[in-house]
Chains A and B, each alone.
Chain A
Amino acid sequence: MKNNVMHMWRTFWFEHVSNTSWSFIRMGLGVILFGEWLVLLPRIPLLLTENGLLTPWVIDPPSMISWLLEPHSARVMYAVHGVVLVPLIGFITGRYTRISAAVLLLYLFYLWQLSYHAFPTTGHRFDVLLLVLFALQGSGKKMMEVWPLRILQLQVSATYMSSALKKSLLPDWQSGNAILGGLEGRYATPLAQWIATQPIPMHVYDVLTWSVLFLEFFIAVGLWIPELRKIAMITGVVFHLMIALLFGLLWFFVIPLCYLSFVSCRAEARQTHM
């Protein structure tokens, strides 16, 4: 019994798989981070310097490290932001991946200190988790231990499952109020606002709300089942596209990127069965 459990543990975390999907995740994350880099570029003066309303997480850092944690002039911040392109390109191309990931991680913490703590998204946390894993694992050799991918699988599944379960317990998600509230809310895009003004019966919103609960539950479970994995991935991507179109929440795309962690194991399973 004990040996069986140990064997299962070892197989689950340490079996060797191809690094193909790990590489695609790295490149995808690099592109997403570059997108975030571009979005931040014109906003640097107001979001990262004292030209804006800046409330650093640590307000009065110890003097010895204050230069690391305090905001600097726009010129310095532009320079720092520009220098970050070097590890970013290194990360995307898979050169010096560990060091690049570590430098990008430090930059993310600096952004957290200056600004991101006031708007901490699930996406930023996924960025951090992924960068930690890449700092530990690197690009991976042709065959790599599966544990970084397993962490992503568990994390993605837990994110969707917790969302489905928590929403199913909340009163707002028992009816169409949740979806309609989103379309009327402060994140609504012009498209969402237009939909909200249409004479759509409430029972349609009811069905849409329950569909979201089912969808999140389905993705959380379906990604683990080879027969359902493809449809779970497609519905997940469509789901996140809808979120982006209706609520402008682009940072969630890092989660569908992590679906690739499930592809590797499927390829490995096929080889095993051959």
Chain B
Amino acid sequence: MLLSLGLALYSVALLLAFTSTTLRFPLPFRPLFFLQGMMSPFSSVPITNMEVVAFGSDATGERRIDLAKYFPVSRGQMAYRLWFQTSRNAGPEVAEQHYADLANQIERKENVRDVHFMIETWPRSQLGYDALRGSGSLTPLQYEK
């Protein structure tokens, strides 16, 4: 009986996560995010390339921090990690807290101060991911979803 109830609840939860993903309405219950995360992976295709980049200041002035050396993962995975999608899903205040924690660590490791994050965007190119990098723009990081 208890198992039947559990299976019925699972079926309803799955249906809810499925329809909310397809029709894009917010889920009413946070644990359902887990099921929603199993739906429709890699659907969106960015119009432009985009990455979170970090800047900090030292005696020589402001410089861009090379974050790649801290992430022994693929380029896509590193960019996704720095976007903190799960934190954004949990709310802008959670994302802000995670970025502040990250900034503190970068300051310690790189001996810089005033670490802040920007979003770098640049046009896509058939010649490669970085082909047109530098021709785009830098905008301040937002914490919203």
Contacts and interface: CB of A to CB of B under 8 A. Distances in A.
A167 B40 contact: yes
A169 B39 CA distance: 15
A197 B21 contact: no
A54 interface: yes
Closest 9 CB pairs of A and B: A187-B76, A181-B45, A162-B39, A118-B81, A186-B76, A172-B45, A122-B41, A166-B40, A163-B40
B133 to A, nearest CB: 11
Interface stretch (B55-63, B100-108, B135-143): B100-108
Given A129-B38, A155-B38, A163-B41, A185 B46 contact: yes
A172 B102 contact: no
B22 A177 contact: no
A125 to B, nearest CB: 5
14 contacts: A46-B72, A55-B101, A57-B86, A117-B86, A118-B81, A122-B37, A128-B34, A154-B11, A158-B39, A161-B18, A186-B49, A196-B126, A197-B126, A248-B76
Interface in B113-131: 124-129
B38 A159 contact: yes
Contacts of B27: none
Nearest to A178: B45
Given A13-B7, A147-B3, A172-B44, A53 B106 contact: yes
Interface string A133-158: 00000000000000100110011001
A162 B35 CA distance: 12
B70 A46 contact: yes
Contacts of A162: 18, 21-22, 39-40
Contacts of B80: 118-119
A201 interface: no
A217 to B, nearest CB: 12
Interface in A170-189: 170, 172-173, 177-178, 180-182, 184-188
A8 interface: no
A196 B129 CA distance: 10
Sort chain A's interface into a size bin: 35 or more
Main secondary structure of the interface of A (DSSP, over half): helix
Contacts of B46: 181, 185
A47 interface: yes
A117 B33 CA distance: 13
Q: Which of A119, A173, A196, A247 has the most CB of B within 10 A?
A: A119
B97 interface: yes
Interface string A102-114: 0000000000000
B72 A197 contact: no
Contacts of A163: 39-41, 43
Given A125-B34, A158-B14, A13 B4 contact: yes
Given A13-B7, A52-B70, A55-B101, A181 B106 contact: no
A197 B84 CA distance: 31
Given A53-B106, A172-B44, A172-B45, A248 B4 contact: no
Contact of B73 (A43, A55, A184, A193): A43
Contacts of A46: 70-72
Given A129-B38, A185-B46, A196-B126, 16 more contacts: A46-B70, A46-B71, A53-B70, A118-B86, A125-B38, A147-B7, A159-B39, A161-B18, A165-B40, A172-B44, A181-B124, A184-B124, A185-B129, A186-B49, A193-B129, A247-B76
